[in-house]
Each structure stands twice: as structure tokens, then as C-alpha cells.
Amino acid sequence: MELIKLIVRNTGRHRLRSVLTILGMAVAILAFCLLRTVVDAWYAGVAGASPNRLVTRNAVSLIFPMPISYKQKILQVPGVSKVTYANWFGGVYVDEKQFFPRMAVGAESFFDLFPEFIVPPDQLRAFMNQRNACIAGRKLIDKYGWKIGDAIPLTGNIYPGEWRFVLRGIYRGASKSTDETQFFFRWDYLDEALKKTSPFRSGQAGWYVVQIENPVESQDVSQAIDALFKNSSAETLTETEKAFQLGFVAMTDAIVISIRIVSFVVIGVILMVLANTMAMTARDRMSEYAVLKTLGFGNTFLFLLIAGESITIAMCGGILGMGLTFPTAAVFSKELGTLLPIFHVGWVTLLMGSGVTVGIGLLSALLPAWRATRVEIAEALRHIG
């Protein structure tokens, strides 16, 4: 109990120094948690991938389509339970800055394979009954103020022309890790228009999503699907949904690595700041440590006293920084919008922040504590702080 009292009193003796160090620590932990949250958001699609879903795409590149007839052939592969398909539509809403994923999907099967997209049954029926109907995520609805029955115009770029959709459904995510910024409309509506304007582009799907009965058999099923279309005009590459998502993340590996490096550089800087603070504190109190030694307090007590003060300062800054992370992340989430649709602070990030905070506090105390325990009493009493 006496040790705790001394730690608390020592922490408040140089108030300005302690306050500035705590604020610096808070800013560093805030930056660390935000950077880690950005990394988590980057990998959100990978984390949310289902183990019983495969993705089949053109073996050359995702930009090359495949015949829609592949669906029935894939369904006949042993181990496959359901198949759906989709096309990336692109397009522009208002202007180029208003980006969100826009896809033409197989209306009869898409939402069966993606139970994480929750659509009210009546809205799903309305979507099925209207050719130019669309379904949008809750975050898009909140951002643009859309409501059921609104007409949503898009200007095509991949598929030129003016496209007009009617909002018939709003989906919400089954969990926080579900992307609620996507826009889906019916593939058959797109295909009908292409038959009139670009017949050679009709009857094609951008990729297939395959639901399998047993995730353990994913490799065997993938190989069986690809074997079906070997030596065809559109050979396929089938992989797990997680691997498919990782392919997109791999394109920006350099950015993710840079963010991770910066997050640890921030920690290194604040470690040096706190270590310097504790070194000055120990130097100022060297004569006090000598008195404590004279009174019979051992090296363990001195180490705990110095380490306790360092960890206390670090924890005050860490708690403040982690507390500020939540409102700051909420602002970032609103500003980033559809660029990083899943942007929330996870428990793993907070645990890492807590571990880093305690680690910085402990490491910052090692050198001052070592000096205080090694110094001779007579030498310390002659020291003028």
C-alpha cells in the first residue's frame, strides 16, 4: 500500500512534465490504434470470407467474362450445392467521387449464397418481380437519403448508356464485419439491354460464386470445376473466397506494409520520449533513492517504484488514447465512406494497444531503475539533481 502511495505521489510531483508525457502517449496510442484499424479494414473482406464458398473466374483475368451456361455445368460437380453469378457494372452516380460497388447479380440465387446480407422478405419479393429493381446497403441509404421506390440513375462506363434503377430493397449486415455499401441489381436486366445494344457481350458472367457442402473438399471441388473447362475458350480458375479476396489485398501489399511500419515507428518514438522522461526523473531523485536504501529498502522496492511510476504515466496516456480512438474512428468511417466500408475498432486492436502501453511503460523504466539500483549510497547522496 505504501508503495502505491509513493507511486501516485511521484507521478504528480512534476505535473507539467507528466501531463505533457501523458498527452504525447495518448496521441501515439491513438495513432497506433487508428493505423491498426486501417489494416483491419483492409483485410475485412478476407476476414468475412465464408469457408464453404468458392469463386470461379476466368483463368486469364477477372476482367474477362465466361459464358452463363457454365452455371449448370458447375452445379453438376460433386460437392457443389448452389451456384450464383455476378458482373461488375461500374458506372457513375452523380460524379466519379461517389464511388460504391455496383454489381449485376443472379437475382434468383445471389442472396441465398450470401446470408450475411439480410433483406426483408417483402422487399426481396419486390426485387424479384421488377426487372430494373435494385437493392442497396444500409450505409448507402443513410449517405444518400434514398428510400424505397426512389429512382436511382447511373451513367454506364463499362456498359455505356443511361441506366435507371428503382430501389426495392435495403439490406443490412448480419454483423459489424459485413459490408453495407454495395449496390445490387438484376443480371437479366443488364443482359436484356446488352442483347439489343451489344449482342456479343450478352449471356456472360463476370464470376461465379459456388457453395460447397464440405469446406474440407474445397481443393478437390475447385480442381473438378477447372477440369470441366480445361482447353475451352474460357478456362477457369477456382479458389476459396478467402484466397479470392487476398488476391485484391495483394495488389496493395506495399501500402499495408507501410502502414504497419509507420504504426511501430510511432511506438518507437513515444518509447524514446517516455524513456527520456523517466531518465530525467530518476536523475532528479537519485539522492532520494539513496535515502531509501539507507533506510533498508532493497533494490526490488526501487525497481517497483520507478517501474510503477513509468507504467502509471503510460497507462494514463494509453487509456486516454484508446478512449479517443472510438470517436475519431467514427469520424474516419464517415469520411472514408465506401473506400473502407468496414471501419470499426476491434478488441484485438485494443488488446494490442494495451499491451504496447504496458510494454512501453516497463521498457522506459529499465535503464533508470538499473542505474538507481547500481549506484552507491555515498555517491547518490553527493548527487545534486
**How does pLDDT run across 266-311, given as a tens digit for each residue?**
888 888 888 888 877 777 777 777 777 777 778 888 888 888 888 8
Q: Which of 234, 268, 284 is the last residue of a domain?
A: 234
Is residue 164 a contact partner of residue 153, using CB atoms and an 8 Å limit?
A: yes
Is residue 64 a contact partner of residue 234, using CB atoms and an 8 Å limit?
A: yes
Share of the chain above pLDDT 70, in %: 94
Note the pLDDT of residue 129.
94
Q: Which helix (H) or strand (E) holds 239?
A: strand 236-240
Query: How would residue 155 be classed by pLDDT, with cut points 50, 70 and 90?
Result: very high
233-274 confidence digits (pLDDT tens): 899 999 999 988 887 776 666 777 888 888 888 888 888 888
Residue 245 lies in a domain: no
Same domain, 267 and 185: no
Q: What is the CA radius of gyration of the chain?
A: 30
Same domain, 202 and 278: no
Distance between CA atoms of residues 266 and 277, nearest Å? 17
Residue 311 lies in a domain: yes
Distance between CA atoms of residues 7 and 315, nearest Å? 13
**How would DSSP label each residue in 264-301?**
HHHHHHHHHHHHHHHHHHHHHTHHHHHHHHHTT--HHH
Residues 6+ away with beta carbon under 8 Å from 76:
none
Same domain, 220 and 74: yes
At residue 165, does pLDDT exceed 90? yes
**Total structural domains within the chain:** 2
Residues 6+ away with beta carbon under 8 Å from 126:
133, 168, 169
Distance between CA atoms of residues 234 and 58, nearest Å? 6
**What is the mean pLDDT of the segment spanning 41-55?**
82
Nearest-5° angle of CA 126, CA 128, CA 130? 70
Same domain, 179 and 309: no
Lowest mean pLDDT among 144-148, 202-206, 334-338: 334-338
Is residue 225 a contact partner of residue 77, using CB atoms and an 8 Å limit?
A: yes
Helices (H) and strands (E) in the chain, counts: 15, 12
**What is the mean pLDDT of the segment spanning 29-52?**
83
Q: Which three cell numbers stand for residue 300?
A: 526490488
Residue 205 lies in a domain: yes
Same domain, 89 and 217: yes
Same domain, 325 and 212: no
At residue 110, does pLDDT exceed 90? yes
Q: What is the mean pLDDT of the chain?
A: 87
Note the pLDDT of residue 62.
87
Query: How would residue 226 be classed by pLDDT, with cut points 50, 70 and 90?
Result: very high
Highest-scoring range by mean pLDDT, 42-46, 90-94, 165-169: 165-169
- First-to-last alpha carbon distance for the chain, in angstroms, is 28
At residue 122, does pLDDT exceed 60? yes
Note the pLDDT of residue 382.
63
At residue 84, does pLDDT exceed 70? yes
314-367 confidence digits (pLDDT tens): 899 999 999 999 998 888 777 766 667 777 888 888 999 999 899 988 888 888
Range(s) of the domain holding residue 106? 60-234
Highest-scoring range by mean pLDDT, 68-72, 172-176, 359-363: 68-72
Note the pLDDT of residue 383.
54
Distance between CA atoms of residues 68 and 70, nearest Å? 5
Sign of CA dihedral 35, 41, 44, 46: negative
User: Within its chain, how far is the Cα of 54 from the centroid?
Assistant: 22
**What is the mean pLDDT of the segment spanning 105-130?**
94
Q: Counting every residue, how long is the chain?
A: 385
Residue 316 lies in a domain: yes
Same domain, 211 and 318: no
Same domain, 152 and 222: yes
Orientation of helix 347-374 relative to helix 15-42, angle to 10°: 140
At residue 111, does pLDDT exceed 60? yes
Distance between CA atoms of residues 313 and 331, nearest Å? 28
Note the pLDDT of residue 330.
85
Orientation of helix 253-284 relative to helix 299-336, angle to 10°: 140
Residue 51 lies in a domain: no
Note the pLDDT of residue 338.
65
Same domain, 211 and 331: no
Note the pLDDT of residue 128.
94
Residue 321 lies in a domain: yes
Give how far Cα 182 sits from Cα of 99, 234, 368, Å: 10, 28, 55
Same domain, 166 and 100: yes
At residue 71, does pLDDT exceed 70? yes
**What is the mean pLDDT of the segment spanning 57-79?**
94
Note the pLDDT of residue 97.
84
Residue 52 lies in a domain: no
Lowest mean pLDDT among 127-131, 313-317, 370-374: 370-374
Residue 127 lies in a domain: yes
Q: Which three cell numbers stand for residue 199?
A: 449482342
Same domain, 331 and 192: no
Residue 275 carries which side chain, given as an amino acid letter?
A
At residue 56, does pLDDT exceed 90? yes
Same domain, 166 and 287: no
Is residue 91 a contact partner of residue 104, using CB atoms and an 8 Å limit?
A: no
Q: Which of 234, 261, 280 is the last residue of a domain?
A: 234
